[in-house]
Amino acid sequence: RQDVLVLTPWLAPIVWEGTFSRDILNAQYLQKNLVTGVVTFAVEKYWFFIEGFMTSANKYFLAGHQVNFYLFTDSPEKVSHLQMAPEKQLFVIPVQNGSSWQDISRCRMRMVSSHIQRQFQHQVDYLYSMDINVQLLAHVGVEIIDDLVATISSWQVTPQQDSKTHGTHPELQGDFHYTASFYGGSVAEMYKLTTACFGGLGEDRQNGIKAQGYHERHLNKYLLQHKPTRLLSPEYYWDTEL
């Protein structure tokens, strides 16, 4: 691919369609018997997205590889009828819903962090965090597996004239702007990331800072100092509002 950037200045590959061969990658990864985890939250009204997400993820996410889906939800009764593919497993983790946006986001980081420590590190090698309100439209495979992986936000690729209500327009400092909707890496790196972000969000709360998109802001701040080892192109998370 000559039209896009495929390597960052710190030699992390940027994964675009056309830059890799999934067959070669699969051959290498099947040797290693890896288990990948996916963490996603469906609280309050978001239970509606569970079925759509799980059906598409079952079909398209790391097809043929072992995946554990960890679904944090406050309405566990709504997930009972899902059918999973043979290598995929679903773990439903019931949670109490938080009082406000900040709390939910902050609690998420804390919950993921503590679950990694207690449970996930023994069950999976790699862990990814995905927003529940997405649907996979094509195969997402082992090209995403690396120590610390982030997805370039689609907001950066198409310049926009007016600011959207989706959130405060992220200041484009740093190398790239990453979306908080799809990121991940090895459990060790994810533990460090969630713990650091949880700490940062706690500080903001103390100082009374509230703003939308702060979850993303803290993620980006962390990734500026701890550069991801692999980047995913905006193909991997495209906001249809654009």
Partner 1 sequence: MISRKVLVGSLVCLGVIAVAIWARAGSGKIHYLPYYLPCPEIFSMKLQYTEEKLIQLFPQLFYQQPRVLVPKYTRFVRRFLESAEQHFMQGYQVNYYIFTDSPGSIVPARLQRGRRLLALPVPSFSSWQEISMRRMETISRHLARLRPAELHYLFCLDIDMVFHNPWGPETLGDMVAAIHPGYFTVPREQFPYERRSSSAAFIPEGEGDFYYGGAVFGGLVSKVYEFTKTCHMTILADKANGIMAAWQEESHLNRHFLTHKPSKLLSPEYIWDDRKPKPPEIRLVRFSTVEKNYKEIRN
Residues involved in catalysis: 216
Count residues binding partner 1 (CB under 8 A). 3
Q: How far is the CB of 125 from partner 1 (least distance, A)?
A: 13
- Residue pair 43/74 in contact (Cβ under 8 Å)? The answer is yes
The secondary structure of the chain in percent helix, strand, coil, rounded to multiples of 5, reads 40, 20, 40
Q: At what angle do helices 187-206 and 101-115 cross, to 10 degrees?
A: 150
28-57 footprint of partner 1 as x/- string (CB under 8 A)? x-----------------------------
Nearest CB to partner 1, comparing residues 28 and 100: 28
Parallel, antiparallel or unpaired: strands 66-73 and 126-130: unpaired
Tell whether 203 is in a known binding site: no
For the chain, the straight-line distance linking the first and the last C-alpha, in angstroms and rounded, comes to 24
Nearest CB to partner 1, comparing residues 24 and 161: 24
173 binds partner 1 (CB under 8 A): no
CA distances from residue 103 to 78, 108, 205, 222 in whole angstroms, order as listed: 23, 8, 9, 19
Q: Is 53 left (phi over 0), alpha (psi -120 to 50) or beta?
A: alpha
* Six token digits for residue 202: 């706690």
Q: How far is the CB of 26 from partner 1 (least distance, A)?
A: 13
Tell whether 51 is in a known binding site: no
Binding residues for partner 1 restricted to 179-198, rule: CB under 8 A:
none
Print burial letters for 137-159: b (CB count within 10 Å at least 16), e (below 16).
Answer: eeebbbbbbbebbbbbbbbeeee
Tell whether 46 is in a known binding site: yes
Tell whether 178 is in a known binding site: no
Q: How far is the CB of 122 from partner 1 (least distance, A)?
A: 14
Tell whether 188 is in a known binding site: no
Binding residues for partner 1 restricted to 1-30, rule: CB under 8 A:
11, 24, 28
**Angle 113-154-170 from CA coordinates, rounded to 5°:** 70
Nearest CB to partner 1, comparing residues 24 and 158: 24
Nearest CB to partner 1, comparing residues 36 and 229: 229
Sequence ranges of the binding site for UDP-N-acetyl-alpha-D-galactosamine: 41-43, 46
Contact residues: partner 1, CB under 8 A: 11, 24, 28
Sequence ranges of the binding site for Mn(2+): 131
